[in-house]
Amino acid sequence: MRPPVLAPIRREGWPFIAAAALVTLLLWLAVGQFFGWLGALATAWCAFFFRDPERVTPIREGLVVSPADGIITLIEPAVPPPELGMGPNPRPRISVFMNVFDVHVNRAPVSARVAQVAYRPGRFVNASFDKASDDNERQAFHLVMADGRDLAVVQIAGLVARRIIGWVGEGDHVTVGARIGMIRFGSRVDVYLPAGGAPLVIEGQRAIAGETVLADLEASEPARQGMAR
C-alpha cells in the first residue's frame, strides 16, 4: 500500500485550525487582503504543525528508536526523574529538541509495559537548555521491557509549549513506534537508556520519531563518535 501524499492531521489540531480559519475570514472581511493572507498562512501552519505522518519502524529486539522528531542536543549521563523511582544512579540520557516546524507526535522507543506515568508542573524555559530537564513542566513514562530492562521517556514543555498530552496510561502495553502522546508547541523529549546502553547517535544529528535508532541494547559497540561536515 502506498503511503499518502499528504500526512494525516491529528484530531487535537482541528479546533486550532478551525479557529485560525475563522480569524482569517474575519480579517479578510474586516481589514483587507494583506491581513487575510497572513491569517491564511497561520492557518496553514496550524495544519502543518498537527500533521501525523506514518513511520516505518525497525522492530529487531534490542533497538531503541527515537520518540521524537528533532535535533539531538544532549547526550550525557543523568539520573532519571525522581518521581519515577528508578534509583539514584545516572543512566545514558539522549535529548531530542523539537522546534515548531517538527512533527510533535511522540512514539514509544521500545515495546514495553507502561509501569508508571508521572506528571510534574514546572517552568517553561527554552527546552534546548540543559536545565529544562529539571526545571520545566514534564510528563515521564517508566517503560519496562519483557526481559526486565527498563528505560524512561520524558516529555518536557518548552518556551512556548503549554500542553503535554499523553495517550497511554499505567499498565498499558505499547509496541515500538506506537504513538504515546504529543506536546504543543516546541518542546523536548528525553530518553534514559538502561544502564550500559551505548548511544548510536551524536549531538547535532537529526532524529525521526519511530525510525532513527538511538541505541542497540544487544550490541557491544561503544558509543558512536562523529562530527559535522
pLDDT in tens, 5-23: 567 887 887 888 888 889 8
Task: Summarize pLDDT for 71-124 with one digit per residue, the tens.
Answer: 999 999 999 999 999 999 999 999 999 988 899 899 999 999 999 999 988 766
Confidence of residue 56 (pLDDT cuts 50, 70, 90): very high
The residue-averaged pLDDT of 56-77 equals: 94
At which residue does the C-alpha cell 517552568 appear? 123
The residue-averaged pLDDT of 182-191 equals: 84
The residue-averaged pLDDT of 202-211 equals: 95
Task: Summarize pLDDT for 113-156 with one digit per residue, the tens.
Answer: 999 999 988 766 655 556 666 667 889 999 999 999 999 999 99
Confidence of residue 223 (pLDDT cuts 50, 70, 90): confident
The residue-averaged pLDDT of 166-171 equals: 92
Give the pLDDT of residue 45.
80
Catalytic residue among 95, 128, 133, 187: 187
Active site residue 187: yes
Question: For residue 28, with 0-12 CB atoms within 10 Å meaning exposed, 13-18 middle and 19 or more buried, which class applies?
Answer: middle
What mean pLDDT, rounded, does the chain reach?
Answer: 87
Angle between helices 14-30 and 33-49 (to 10 degrees): 170
Confidence of residue 205 (pLDDT cuts 50, 70, 90): very high
Give the pLDDT of residue 17.
85
Choose the weakest-confidence range: 34-43, 154-163, 181-190.
Answer: 154-163
Q: Compute the residue count for the chain.
A: 229
> Which residues face 30 on adjacent strands?
none
Give the pLDDT of residue 32.
78
Give the pLDDT of residue 110.
97
Give the pLDDT of residue 3.
53
Give the pLDDT of residue 12.
80
Report the percentage of the chain scoring pLDDT > 90.
Answer: 50
- The span from the CA of 203 to the CA of 6, in Å, is 30
Which sequence spans correspond to the domains of the chain?
11-49, 63-216
Give the pLDDT of residue 177.
96
Assigned superfamily of 63-216: Glucose Permease (Domain IIA) (2.70.70.10)
Give the pLDDT of residue 35.
82
